[in-house]
Amino acid sequence: MQQRPLGKTGPLVSALGLGCMGMSDLYGPSDRAESIATIHAALDVGINLLDTGDFYGMGHNEMLIAEALAGGRRDGAIISVKFGGMRDPAGNFVGFDTRPVAIRNFVAYSLKRLNVDHIDIYRPARLDPNVPIEDTVGAIADLIKAGYISHIGLSEVGSETTRRAAAVHPIADLQIEYSLISRGIETGILQTCRELGIGITAYGVLSRGLISGHWSKDRKIERDFRAHSPRFQGDNLDRNLALVEALRAVAEAKGVSVAQITIAWVAAQGNDIVPLIGARRRDRLAEAIGALKVELTAADLAAIEQAMPKGAASGERYASEQMAMLDSEKA
């Protein structure tokens, strides 16, 4: 397994990370045994970065990872945890809380659910508008001194917030959506991270399955986060799937799958970028791992750009109320 440093201060991680959210939440039912088998398969091939959030399934995802890492597998894993997302008993998101006192509470519960003595990377899931980022990062830095956390990460914040955070404590990585149809970080955020020596862990590289090559217009998504995503709605879906078909021609000419060429494109944007793959099954994981063998030439990159040009996506990546919560989307 290829490895990449996560920024200039973070750990050495596998060239692909495993995003575990879908094993517990937001993408419809999942199979517990298959989820654990998928985590084991990832670890067995050298994928060591496991990404989760304490609010994924209201703690279920952390407990699932704990079960998967039982029996001596913890030493081979780097666990990245997002915190701060607040949810009600129905599963609705009701805000964010990154106050220092809340952070100490959140980390205590995560350590217990994960059954670990420390968390490798800890990050606020979103910028809390009521708490200065300096206070949030400072509180995590105190937990580093106490031995409960190893590194600090950020998620979905813009350049100004990133700079303010890095002035308090070194930041290992920024976790942010990045794919062929979500390229907002290219207009400043990526450059800021590179200037500061902060790595990128890119989620949504397949745009929640939309550009995986496996999505069907007729797929039912009633009990699924994607039912509320503008890119999966009406004419937007038709136009986005037409882009996928154009990309499929490029992938087939290369002898790879659509998902593989899409993942390979993200990985090719720099050695400081680690794509997170939200595979819930071993077959999808195996397909994603195959992307690491895909070498994209200048001609390939040009063909990909022609098939799926920057800004070609129809619809925003989140619904409007969620977009308003993203510091990364602010000018």
Question: DSSP of 261-282, one letter per residue?
Answer: HHHHHHHTT-TTEEEEE---SH
Long-range contacts at 224-227 (CB < 8 A, ≥ 24 apart) = 224/26, 224/27, 224/28, 225/26, 225/27, 226/27
Give the integer Cα–Cα distance in Å for 311 and 181. 7
Q: Are 277 and 19 in contact (CB under 8 A)?
A: yes
Q: Which tokens in the block code for residue 137? A: 């990062």
How many residues would you count in the chain?
331
3-state DSSP call for residue 132? Answer: coil
CA–CA dist 83, 331 (Å, integer): 25
DSSP H or E stretch at residue 251: helix 234-254
Cα 285 to Cα 25, 81, 95, 292: the distances in Å are 18, 21, 32, 12
Amino acid at 52: T
In terms of Cα–Cα distance, which of 222, 202, 322 is closest to 270? 202
Between CA 244 and CA 35 the distance in angstroms is 27
Q: Nearest Cα to 288, choosing from 306, 266, 270?
A: 266
Catalytic center residues? 56
| Separation of alpha carbons 37 and 41, rounded Å | 6
Q: Is 282 exposed, middle or buried (0-12, 13-18, 19+ CB in 10 A)?
A: middle
